[in-house]
Amino acid sequence: MLSTVTARPNFCVSTKTRGSFRQSASTLLGIKQRNSHGSCRQNVVVQSSLTVYGHPGTRSPLINWYLYEIDIPFKVLAPSNPGNPHPFGQVPALQDEGGVEMFESGAILFYLSDKYGGLDTPEKRADCGKWIMWANATLDPILFKENENGKIIGTGIGGTPKGIVRLEALLEGKEYLVDNEFSVADVAVASYLLYVPQFFREIDMGRWPNISAYMLRCTERDAYIKAFGAETAAYCKAMCQKYLDGSMKQTKGFSLF
């Protein structure tokens, strides 16, 4: 199954951020200009040969989320498509011009933010890159406990993981992770956090109010809604609101997946 996905036509950075950019020759040349963390400056048609292999019921929509945020068009192919470059037949996977083939969500985000998001030097990648790595290497194992076959059998978020305690403190008084502006770092971290209400209905994140508020902000982003679907986004938003207002009720079992 093939579906063609085009970038959101009206996405741009917030009013607060927009005023900080300066005009440059690249604007006149039709090159999308971005801030130092990969957010788009203005709407410019960008030609792309990107193909994402994925499915709504997997972690691949987080790749779509970032591509929508930076207004890069792409097409989506099913995981079972014979062109899937993932050596283990899984998703997400990605293909781009020049024979580029990628797998693993973190690696894909690194590549996309480098080539299309403006994080094209080691210095620019430093702030966001550490959060992408943290999401994959530390946050993922906290949130998802798997058996030897890779099946999710539980979560560690019900305890008091050191990484979550520290993240809660780091988000005090902040809206986003890097310079308080939305970036690819937030795509990496928030997408994983927002799998908690989807997979684990019984977990109440209300004891982490800064994290819960952060999650809520991300569910309201147009690109998140488009990538994960309006129903999923609305469900996650409602759960985050319950975390914050103390109305979370304990239930059992998995939810969307």
Q: Residue 23: what pLDDT?
A: 31
Distance separating alpha carbons of residues 164 and 145, to the nearest angstrom: 15
Asked if residues 219 and 191 have their Cβ atoms less than 8 Å apart, the reply is no
Query: Rounded to the nearest 10 degrees, how much is the dihedral formed by the CA atoms of 183, 185, 187, 189?
Result: -150
Q: Residue 89: what pLDDT?
A: 94
Q: Residue 38: what pLDDT?
A: 56
Q: How do the pLDDT tens digits run along the chain, 257 residues long? A: 444 443 333 222 232 333 333 232 222 222 234 555 555 433 444 566 899 999 998 889 999 999 999 999 999 999 999 999 999 999 999 999 999 999 999 999 999 999 999 999 999 999 999 999 999 999 999 999 988 887 888 999 989 999 999 999 999 999 999 999 999 999 999 999 999 999 998 999 999 999 999 999 999 999 999 999 999 999 999 999 999 999 885 444 444 44
Q: Residue 37: what pLDDT?
A: 58
Tokens 């792409």, residue? 74
Give the largest CA-CA distance in the chain. 56
How is the beta sheet containing 51-53 ordered, strand by strand? 2-5, 74-77, 51-53, 93-96, 100-103
Q: Residue 204: what pLDDT?
A: 95
Q: Which amino acid is at 165?
A: V
DSSP 3-state of 133: helix
DSSP 3-state of 132: helix
Q: What is the DSSP letter of 204?
A: -
Q: Residue 35: what pLDDT?
A: 53
Q: Which amino acid is at 157?
A: I
Q: Residue 223: what pLDDT?
A: 98
